[in-house]
Chain A
Amino acid sequence: DAKTTQPPSMDCAEGRAANLPCNHSTISGNEYVYWYRQIHSQGPQYIIHGLKNNETNEMASLIITEDRKSSTLILPHATLRDTAVYYCIVINTNAGKSTFGDGTTLTVKP
C-alpha cells in the first residue's frame, strides 16, 4: 500500500489560501488520493478526492501532479473553523484498504 508524507503542521492567515502538500511517491495506478479533515477528535470529514485530474468542489481544490507522486489541497479562503488535522489518504480500490498519513495540523490565525 502506498504511504503518504505530510508536513506535521502549518499556519495560515484567515482569509488567505491554505495550500497543504502531500507526497505519495509509491502510489499505483488503481489508487485514489483522498483528503479528509478531523476536528477535535470527531470522525474524519470528507473534503475531496481525485485519481489523476485536478478536482474542485465547494470546499476545496485538489491539484495532482502529472506523475501522481504528490498532490496539494487548496482551501481558497481559510476561516478559523478550518483549523483541524488534514489527512491525505491513498485508497486501494481493489483491496479496499486505506493508509492514513500522519496528517498536517492546520492552524488558521486571525
Chain B
Amino acid sequence: DTEVTQTPKHLVMGMTNKKSLKCEQHMGHRAMYWYKQKAKKPPELMFVYSYEKLSINESVPSRFSPECPNSSLLNLHLHALQPEDSALYLCASSQEPRYGYTFGSGTRLTVV
C-alpha cells in the first residue's frame, strides 16, 4: 500500500459544528503532516507529527486540534470554524523528510 487515504473527500459544516478529518497510511512512515491550501495558493504547513508526537505547530488557531492515535492514523478535529477556514486540507506522510512526502487527495472543507 503506497497511498495516503483521507476521509471524507468533501465536508460542509456550520460554524457551531464539531467535525473531524481523518488520514491513514500503511507505509510505515514515521512522520505525518497536515497542510491547508486556499484556492490558487500553495499548501501551507499546519502540523507535523514525528513518531506520534507533535513536533511542529505552525501557530495554528486552537479551533484546529490534531491528534495522532497511532503511527498509521492522523486526525484533525475541527470546532467553531469560520468561513475563512474553508480550504483543501491535505495530509502527507514521510519515512524521513529527505525522502519527500506522499500526499493524500485532500478533504475539501466548506464552512457555512
Q: Is A96 an interface residue (CB 8 A)?
A: yes
B14-22, B59-67, B69-77, B103-111 - interface stretch: B103-111
Among A87, A96, A98, the one with the most B-chain Cβ atoms within 10 Å of its Cβ is A96
- A96 and B56 in contact, given A32-B98, A43-B104, A91-B98 (Cβ under 8 angstroms): yes
Number of interface residues of A (CB under 8 A): 22
A11-19, A57-65, A100-108 - interface stretch: A100-108
Residue of A nearest to B49 (CB): A96
A87–B106 Cα distance when bound, in Å, is 17
Classify the secondary structure of B's interface with A: strand
Q: Is B43 an interface residue (CB 8 A)?
A: yes
Picked from A34, A41, A42, A103, the residue with its CB within 8 Å of the CB of B100 is: A34
Q: Is B55 an interface residue (CB 8 A)?
A: yes
Which 4 pairs of residues, A with B, have the shortest CB-CB distance? A43-B103, A100-B42, A93-B98, A96-B97
